[in-house]
Chains A and B, each alone.
Chain A
Amino acid sequence: MIDFMLNGRPCRSEATPETSVLELLRETLGATGTKEGCASGDCGACTVAIGEPGPNGELRYHSANACITPAHQLNGRYLVTVEGLAQGESLHPAQAAMVECHGSQCGFCTPGIVMSLFTLHEQQRHAPAPLTPQRLEAALGGNLCRCTGYRPIRDAALSMNQHPDNRPQWLDAAAATKTTEMASGDEAAFLQPTTLAALVDCLKRHPKARLVAGATDLWLEATQRLAHFEHVIDVTRVAELNDIDETTLEDGRSGWWLGAAVTYSRLEPLFEEHYDAFAHLLHRLGSQQVRNRGTLGGNVANASPIGDTPPVLLALGSRLRLVGPDDGHGVRERELPLEDFFLDYKRTALREGEAIRAIFLPRPVAGQTLKVWKLSKRREDDISAVLGAFAWRMENGVMRDVRLAFGGMAAIPKRAAHAEAALEGKAPDAAAFQAARQALGKDFQPMSDVRGSAHYRQLSAANLLERLRLSIAQAETDSSREVMLHAYAH
């Protein structure tokens, strides 16, 4: 049984574990305002807003792709759909602005766009900030429109605040309504533990269960391949997996243990403060809808060779903390370097009944630089053809601790050991980088696929090293010559 609030009204419904929010809305509840464009989380036509109590108990809404959000994750949440915004004939500012700016043509993507604008409007209420191009891109980059070319949608976003603030009262009043959290009884197929101990207990009882956090990848199995899930363990409510803990490792490195269920959106401020390049990558990872739900833990566990964050974490020397049941009734934990985690294509060191608890992000050290460059056909909401993540520090004019990691170049996210060796202890000059470029041929034999040919991958990966050289030289000489495009630079 799923218990939630739908547009301010309590709603209870049964659903199989693999049911999506979109199926629940359209097929069970007959609420067809929310559209299916792709059923894969790529087009945004099904965008809804999901409210959760914030730090002070007030509701905070984020956008999500209903097509790949498990219906059971609505438990205790406050779902807002396009049908809920207008009050009689009086439109919400997001809707009024879309009408006034001619923001809809065929109208099929419009409910999703309205909901993305609605969440932007909510954010502006809580924390008003200038609507910079970057912010609008983040808010709207996950909503495909095939008709308008987006200009009128931009105008609608920029003019929402000029419309009367007709906002349903229940958006706030709902916070007072307490909906019941579902118990994760033995019979439940969709398990929602809230503590680490409960999670481990679930893992012990159902070692073959599918683990889900943001569901931004797993739910494609449900929608595209019609998978049935016997048991699903939802890790998003496990308190310990939502923590960000400052720590110092035994090897003396300080940093943070990032809970595996922390969403990308929650990581943004931390990355922005410490790793500009990582934050910039995050802005190009999926869409806002995906970043609101997707997690670092999911990206690592998924072990895709074209996942965006693993190469960065490899370049930074990240470690993982895994949990599982011990022989008795307790919890067993182990730690390992991230590079030991990826074994082969989509195969990891994670044992049956184990889960990722946290990912270690080291604090930047003096003289260290991180560069992350992602190559894809489209700048926003695309998957990498090649991603290069490069970390090193300068010491007496030479490069030290050089770590070069790539995505899209092998069956797993992988460091370029030969290229690293060519640069380690060398001055960042043309000769060293020429050697590194050549060494890259020993590190990788990439494949051709829909995102790029092997030749392009090899060539562009080598050219990213050339860009690295130029960007170091540019920083040293303070040259105004552009070494890359500003839309891609950070």
Chain B
Amino acid sequence: MRTLTKLNKSTEIADDATADMSADSAVAREELEGRIKGAAPLARDTVHPGSHPHSRAHESAVKHVTGRAAYIDDLKAPADALHVALALSPVAHGRLTRLDLDKVRDMPGVVDVVGFHDVPGHTDIGPVFPGDPIFVEEEISYVGQVMFAVAAESYRAAREAVNAALAKGIAEIDEQPACLDPVATAERGEFVRPTHVQQSGDWEQALANAAHVVEAEQFVGGQEHFYLEGQACLVQPTEDEGVIVHTSNQHPSETQKLVAEVLGIPFHAVTVEVRRMGGGFGGKETQASPWACIAALIARRTGRTTRVRLPRADDMRATGKRHPFHNRYRLGIDEQGVIQGGEITVIGDCGYSPDLSDAIVDRAMFHSDNAYSLGEARVIGHRARTHTASNTAFRGFGGPQGMMVIEAAMDDIARRIGEDPLTVRKRNFYRPGRQTTHYGQQVDQIKLLRELVEQLETSSEYWARRRAITEFNAESPIVKRGLALTPVKFGISFTAKHLNQAGALLHVYTDGSVMINHGGTEMGQGLHTKICQVVARELGLDVDEVRITATRTDKVPNTSPTAASSGADLNGQAARDACVKLKQRLFDFAHEHLYKDQGLDRDDMRLEAGHLVAGYGESERRIPWGELVQTAYLNRILLSEKGFYATPLIHYDRNVGQGRPFYYYAFGAAVAEVSVDTLTGEYQVDRVDILHDVGDSLNPAIDIGQVEGGFIQGMGWLTSEELKWNEAGRLISDGPATYKIPTYGDLPPVFNVKLMEGHPNSMASIYRSKAVGEPPFMLGMAVWSALRDALASLADYAEAPRLDTPATPERVLLAAEELRSRYDSARLERGAP
């Protein structure tokens, strides 16, 4: 039986959504009004100016630097704990015709061997839609798919047994031709989910009436997460029918559900715990569950603690990546280069199963406008099936791939009308009168976007550098420089509405120390630090008095994944909700028992600097927090509280492709300058300037860290990080020797990064902050656009070359050669030097 969270009944959901929307919109307007005007619970609370008191170090910083922070593989296990190795399919497509697992059982050190037929419960562990078998039953769908698992006394023994078993041919496979080309499968209609369309106005008429039509295609490459800590889990059997799962995981509740379903036991028999991840980036949202399910299966069968950790090459083969996309656009523009309308098609390469691809391709569509009004437009998103690992969440969740199409168009339009790309971008920004997206959401804070870009334009000296670069390029035949400013507008909220909820559990102990638990997981983004800060702020305590331990499904249940940049937005509000409730109870108690005879006003009570304070001036009374807590305890007042939050206002109707899927947008912009060697395709990033909007920052140090790290990761995606498969569908960039993420030397020598100030969130987010996990990732597009700008100089800026990504030196060189061959011969014909 499928549980409620498995959304395989799409019709019902659609009905719900429609019902929701009509009910929602009236309430929504009212709520929005109230919140913006400050009547709602959260009034604006600005970051204190000056010394950034909110710039707390990461809660685990000292543990990180001393090696005391424990990751999954560091956890101590009993001496008899089992180690698991996985047998991965060597072919991309075929049928498993025979699997002789008995031969493996006798191998040295082997304790248990499990395959498809050993699963007592569900065998499909698809996270949202079915389609992901825990083990191959018969159909093999990609190189790296798990055929069976071996548990042995040591990690090495398990891996050796797998190698020996495969070498002995215990698996017979009838290999079939693999399909690795998503464009071809899309043309054949082979999709993992149905195509979705968003449309506003008469796009065909807009194209027909336009002064010019620009069109192009692009390929946007995928990306390996390369979290430094690979997939890992440790599972202990409990004394009843269940398990305790320690996992490096962004979505403990989903893993709890899947483990329970695989074992055929109730959810309450499974507890999932996540203390921290050594990086997630989306790669542990759905793709951490299979290992937990397999380990749980073995732990239950053997009664022994079971450990899984994937060797890096297995990790890279078996797990999905950022979706590669093939995009096309056809846009009508006026003489000024302003888009009138047109059509955009995005094809996401989803791999073999749906996983989260529906929402990911949706998000690519939601962001194919980036910061620009598309006018009357149609956006089509296909979800192509190929024989590769099932592509999955990765920071930006399709948004970056969608934005790339419109950023390509901006450069192309600029060359067509002979204007600077920045001028064209600014003309096309959302603006009064053109404020509604192609999916029907109003873009508020359009003034913020314009101000942000203008500030950056000035601080980066864009125009002076533009002139210098043009002069330099005219004199430099080999080395060419390029400059680009690209903006980011990123929608914040899960587009699956039900995920926009969070819970928290607050305990105050009798010594006054505070424990907060919430549904979010810590993967380095500083979420726990921010939540501790929220609690400390609400309770008037020092941050050191508030502690977060691990995220556990038995403390806060039914949680959403820590994803969509939503961690602090959702869990911060839930934690605050718990604090507010507890505070009210303590105030009531204090009013009743402590101050009643002193005539102190209940409404004036507050918690600050470790005290409950009542009254002002001469009538002020202060009780130390510890004393308050102890007295409350002795008077039998509950010192524990739950918090909850559900994001208001949001809705989206997939039937008509219209709604308000995002609570708000986060903005940012980056200017990158590059130098390109047009003989070899080598390039360097000379300078980067970034201005990014986080509303009123919860922790400027952490937010800057997210902005910088996101930018570099985004730059890596578009430059050096190249995934390559061979013709048989085997990933050949399967380790850090062949897959190159940015390293220290890729840090631009000049890197000016600032947070936008003075623009609190227009929505009542936690302390008017904004989500920061994903939006800065897309700032990396400036580097790609600057590379195109440098190359365009070879064509006297008459065109921008097609530059698919990642723009490796090879792609840059081939683009340069292509332009040179056409324009140099044209120059020769004109008799120019």
Give chain A's interface residues, CB within 8 Å of chain B.
26-27, 30, 32-40, 42-43, 45, 81-83, 85-86, 91, 94-95, 98-100, 102-111, 114, 133, 136-137, 140-154, 224, 226, 373, 375-383, 385, 449-453, 455-456, 459-460, 463-464, 466-467, 470, 481-488
Contact = CB atoms under 8 A, between A and B. Distances in A.
A490 to B, nearest CB: 14
Given A107-B64, A460-B813, A35 B312 contact: no
A476 B76 CA distance: 67
A43 B701 CA distance: 25
Contacts of B709: 105, 146-149
B288 to A, nearest CB: 14
A377 B740 contact: yes
B677 A146 contact: no
A485 B479 contact: yes
A338 to B, nearest CB: 25
Interface in B147-163: 155-156, 159-160, 163
Given A40-B737, A148-B709, A104 B58 contact: yes
A487 B733 CA distance: 26
Given A108-B278, A378-B743, A456-B814, A484 B68 contact: no
B426 interface: no
A484 B479 contact: yes
Contacts of A110: 64-65, 69
B478 A470 contact: yes
Instruction: Give the interface centre of B61, B476, B681, B753 by most chain A CB atoms within 10 Å.
Output: B61
A98 B63 CA distance: 11
Given A98-B64, A137-B745, 7 more contacts: A146-B225, A147-B279, A149-B712, A226-B160, A375-B682, A377-B808, A483-B478
Contact of A106 (B475, B523, B702): B523
B677 A488 contact: yes
Interface in B680-713: 680-684, 701-702, 704-705, 708-713
Contact of A450 (B68, B711, B733, B736): B733
Contact of B813 (A153, A379, A456, A484): A456
B70 A32 contact: yes
A35 B279 CA distance: 13
B281 interface: yes
A375 B279 contact: no
What is the predominant secondary structure among interface residues of chain B facing chain A? loop
B677 A484 contact: yes
B788 interface: no
Contacts of A42: 735-737
A485 B744 contact: no
Nearest to A151: B708
Contact of B722 (A81, A108, A145, A377): A377
A152 B705 contact: yes
A228 to B, nearest CB: 9
Given A32-B70, A104-B58, A450-B724, A154 B680 contact: no
Interface of B: 55, 57-58, 60-71, 73-74, 76, 155-156, 159-160, 163, 225-230, 276-281, 311-313, 475-479, 523-526, 675-677, 679-684, 701-702, 704-705, 708-713, 720, 722, 724, 732-733, 735-738, 740-747, 749, 751, 753, 808-810, 813-814, 817
Contacts of B701: 102
A378 B524 contact: no
A149 B745 CA distance: 10
Contacts of B523: 106
Contact of B312 (A38, A377, A455, A487): A38
Contacts of A94: 65
A451 B808 CA distance: 10
A380 B311 contact: no
B63 to A, nearest CB: 7
A108 B736 contact: no
A440 to B, nearest CB: 14
A427 B175 CA distance: 58
Nearest to A483: B478
Contacts of B227: 106, 108, 146
Nearest to B743: A380
A381 B67 CA distance: 25
A477 to B, nearest CB: 14
Given A32-B73, A149-B712, A485 B682 contact: yes
A106 B228 contact: yes
Nearest to B477: A481
A467 B682 CA distance: 13
A485 B684 contact: yes
Instruction: Give the interface centre of B277, B702, B704, B810 by most chain A CB atoms within 10 Å.
Output: B810
Given A36-B73, A380-B745, A484 B478 contact: yes
Nearest to A41: B737
Contacts of A104: 58, 60-61, 64-65, 524
B810 A144 contact: no
B525 A105 contact: yes
B679 A463 contact: yes
A413 to B, nearest CB: 19
Contact of A108 (B68, B71, B705, B742): B71
A111 B67 contact: yes
Contact of A137 (B277, B478, B744): B744
Given A83-B66, A144-B228, A485-B684, A151 B160 contact: no
22 contacts: A40-B736, A85-B66, A94-B65, A95-B66, A98-B65, A99-B61, A108-B279, A149-B712, A150-B746, A151-B747, A226-B159, A373-B680, A377-B720, A378-B740, A379-B746, A452-B810, A456-B810, A460-B680, A460-B681, A460-B810, A481-B475, A482-B476
A466 B281 CA distance: 43
Top 9 closest pairs, chain A to chain B, by CB: A33-B67, A106-B524, A108-B278, A107-B64, A149-B712, A42-B736, A105-B524, A82-B67, A32-B74
Nearest to A36: B73
A98 B74 CA distance: 22
B630 to A, nearest CB: 29
B761 to A, nearest CB: 23
Contact of B524 (A107, A111, A154): A107
Contact of A464 (B60, B225, B680): B680
B278 A378 contact: no
A81 B68 CA distance: 12
Contact of B705 (A102, A142, A466): A102
B228 A91 contact: no
A35 B228 CA distance: 9
A226 B276 contact: no
Given A226-B160, A467-B679, A383 B743 contact: no
Nearest to B522: A106
Instruction: Give the interface centre of B76, B705, B711 by most chain A CB atoms within 10 Å.
Output: B705
A385 B744 contact: no
B744 A34 contact: no
B562 to A, nearest CB: 13
Contacts of B711: 149
A449 B735 contact: no
B203 to A, nearest CB: 38
A35 B278 CA distance: 10
A326 B680 CA distance: 49
B276 A106 contact: yes
B279 A141 contact: no
Contacts of A463: 679-680, 813
A451 B720 CA distance: 11
A423 B738 CA distance: 35
Contacts of A100: 57
B226 A146 contact: yes
A39 B680 contact: no
B478 A107 contact: no
A111 B477 CA distance: 45
B279 A106 contact: yes
B163 A102 contact: no
B58 A105 contact: yes
A107 B71 CA distance: 9
Contact of B743 (A98, A141, A373): A141
A33 B68 contact: yes
